[in-house]
Structure 1
Amino acid sequence: MTIQFYQQLIQVLNQGAAVVATVTRVRGSVPREQGAKMIICEDGRTFNTIGGGAGEAKVIQQAKEVLKTGEKQWVEIDLSGAPERETQGVCGGLMQVLLERWSGEKAIALAEKILAHLQIGQSIVLITSFEDQIPYILTSEYPIPSSDQIFIETLQPPPTLLIVGAGHVGEQLAKIADFIGFKIVIQDSRLEFTHAERFPPNSIIYNQSIFKVLEQLKGYNNLYIALVTRGYQYDIEALKCILNFKFSYQYIGMIGSKKRIKMVYKNLEKSGISSQQLEEIHAPIGLEIGALTPEEIAISIGAELIQVYRKSKSYVNNVQDTE
């Protein structure tokens, strides 16, 4: 996701110039969404993807020219399969990709500034114009230019996954969720299960009560919660706190058999939790793929997280007409 992209871009720029390719417009069926990015280096290495195949090959070829000239380019990728058009695929749609060379101290400083905002959970608006050498962050000092060839892009910080329970499933889920781009937060009172080396780098680990953890997370706008505790009594404790806490979250899921889930729900209803609140819970957690091992269960949960994330994600990116 976005943080990993800019971390990689900073590493590349410290070695030399690179082209950033960004999908700025899509129509019909295409392999990547608006805002998808990849990096093309001077030595031919690439990072990330804007869809692969012949269309991406065309972008890489054009990037070589951009690296030489420094002049931005729009690349049209035709995936319609229409016989009368130059075609790079048969997905059915069209993609427009912006190519721009990033190089030097100013580009590194911009990438570092973008990364700093994202790492503290702040969204930013990035303006790319053919009239400027490199993009810039939208502020009152630097407003949107009056140009008909600009790309306005909102960069969002990654979603956060709170994993309640640091056992075998929690450990594997942290790895899977980190791999697909989530910021990881772990809550478990057991010190013997919360050693930092069990979890991905930069994971935030709490041994405090769930209430104290939620107090730390109440400012997060893109929060996901997975309950993978060691027993139903811990589910009840956590859910009573979560469902009565005044904050927003995108997803909440709970591990367990149908019997365990029924026991938890019955207890929660007695404590005053409404049936409407219970309907928000994904239980049993994860997509049904027949998962049995901690690793398989983690993958099923990760798949459900992706499903919910992609359904709820609304792209506020916009590109002005360049034709």
Structure 2
Amino acid sequence: MGIDVLQEAVRTLESGQPAALVTVIASGGMTPAKPGFKMVVRPDGKTTGTVGGGALEAQAVQAALAAIRSRASTRLCFAEECGGLAQLGMVCGGEIELFVDYMSPGPEVWVFGAGHVGLAVGELAAFAGFRVTLVDDRPEYADEKRAPWAHSVMACDFVEAASKAPGGADSYVVIVTRGHAWDAQVLYEILRLERRPYYVGMMGSKPKVNSCFEGLRAKGVSDEALAAVHAPIGLAIGGDSPREIAVSVVAELVAARNGRDPKCLQGGAGYGGTSNA
């Protein structure tokens, strides 16, 4: 049973979807679940394996789906002093502790802007091992044929997409739209998310970034939130072509993924002379 469960978890992750692995880590009394029992839960609620069945398993599935949504692992404990499994209406009684392990398919970057810079950034990010979601409000730009390497392509309003961006340790956002007005709108929505991405970067010259930040402060965005934004985005390697900018940006993404804090363009002029349209 354990091998089947783990194989299904691997298949789910390889398909680009997250999963949750539920494991019985302690049990007592008459419960049929024993330590080591495992169950993998996919985002659609389908399961492989078991942690004992009945109301307990239904509760475990809901906890697993919540872990997938929040991208965070958790524990479930039904101890005797709290009523144990009887509180779930299970006649067998007993007590049990479960660990719900959120499993990520890997780091994901949302690239806002599918112009020549956004396209170059997305392609190189995919090559570097990121799952890429490419977003543009122009259907002719947000076209899967232009980005066969993308995990997902979204043709929709930038603000609407930004409000749906994932947060947490495996989430990255790169803002390279065709204009600074759109950049500011996307950044504002990202910073309003209840759970922010691990990395947020925005392209622009230093003066334009400062102007954008002033506008966001006027809307109530804190200095602390703005200080976490990588803007101007990228490493100071020189070069203004789309592919050179992509190397600069993706190098910073990889450094962030590896827990490094490289000297970036925030101390320099930034990329402002190249349009992403």
Q: Give the TM-score range, shorter chain.
A: 0.5 to 0.7
- Match in the other structure for 2:10: 114
**Alpha-carbon distance in 2 for matches of 1:240, 1:299:** 26
> Which residue of 236, 242, 245 corresponds with 1:294?
242
Q: Is the CA contact (8 Å cut-off) linking 2:9 and 2:21 kept in structure 1?
A: no
Deviation at 1:167, TM superposition (A): 0.6
After the TM superposition, which of the residue ranges 232-241 and 220-229 deviates more from structure 2? 220-229
Partner of 1:200: 148
Check if 1:234 corresponds to 2:182. yes
- Give the match's secondary structure for 1:237: helix
RMSD: 3.2
With normalisation by structure 2, the TM-score equals 0.59
Q: Is the 8 A contact 1:117 1:124 kept in 2?
A: no
Q: Which residue of 1 aligns with 2:80?
A: none
Contact 2:139 2:155 in 1 (8 A): yes
CA distance in 2, matches of 1:295, 1:261: 22
Contact 1:125 1:155 in 2 (8 A): no
Distance 1:181 1:124 in 2: 23
Q: Quote how far apart the aligned CAs of 1:189 are.
A: 0.5
The answer to whether the aligner puts 1:168 opposite 2:168 as a matched pair is: no
1:75-119 CA-to-partner distances (Å, cap 9, x unmatched) read xxxxxxxxxxxxxxxxxxxxxxxxxxxxxxx99996564121452
Give the distance between the partners of 2:209 and 2:37, measured in 1 at CA: 47
**Cα distance in 2 between the residues matched to 1:295 and 1:114:** 33
CA gap of 1:237–1:215, structure 2 versus 1, over 3 A, is closer
Query: What is the distance in 2 between the residues matched to 1:180 and 1:124?
Result: 27
Conserved 8 A contact 1:224-1:251? yes
1:141-161 deviation line (CA, Å, top 9, x unaligned): 59xxxxxxxxxxx96421110
Count of matched residue pairs: 189
Structure 2 contact 37–50 (Cα < 8 Å) conserved: no
Cα distance change, pair 233–284 in 1 and its aligned pair in 2 (3 A): same
> Is the 8 Å Cα contact of residues 9 and 19 (structure 2) preserved in structure 1?
no
Tell me, in whole angstroms, the C-alpha distance in 2 between the residues paired with 1:190 and 1:198. 13
Q: Is the contact between residue 178 and residue 200 of structure 1 (CA under 8 Å) also seen in structure 2?
A: no
The answer for unaligned runs of 5 or more in structure 2 is 24-35, 40-48, 52-101, 261-277
3-state SS, counterpart of residue 120 of structure 1: coil
Would the alpha carbon gap of residues 219 and 115 (structure 1) be closer, same or farther in structure 2, given more than 3 Å must change? farther
Distance in 2 (alpha carbons) for counterparts of 1:210 and 1:293: 24
Q: How do 1:45-84 and structure 2 match up within 5 A?
A: none
1:195–1:137: structure 2 CA closer, same or farther, 3 Å change rule?
farther
Distance 2:140 2:151 in 1: 16
Aligned counterpart in structure 2 of residue 260 of structure 1, from 195, 201, 208: 208
What is the Cα deviation at residue 221 of structure 1?
Answer: 5.4
Distance 1:250 1:238, change over 3 A: same
* Amino acid corresponding to residue 170 of structure 1 in structure 2: G
Supply the distance in 2 between the matched residues of 1:307 and 1:125 (Cα, whole angstroms): 32
Corresponding position: 1:187 with 2:135: yes
Q: Deviation per CA, 1:146-185, whole angstroms, max 9, x where unpaired?
A: xxxxxxxx96421110101111110011111101111111
**What is aligned with 1:69?**
none
Output the CA distance in 2 between the equivalents of 1:202 and 1:267: 32
Equivalences for residues 1-323 of structure 1 within 5 A: 111=7, 113-118=9-14, 119-122=16-19, 138-139=38-39, 156-218=104-166, 222-311=170-259
The worse-fitting range, judged by mean Cα deviation, of 221-230 and 107-116 is 107-116
TM-score under structure 1 length normalisation: 0.52
Instruction: Return the alpha-carbon distance in structure 1 between the equivalents of residues 227 and 12 of structure 2.
Output: 37
Distance 1:245 1:110 in 2: 33
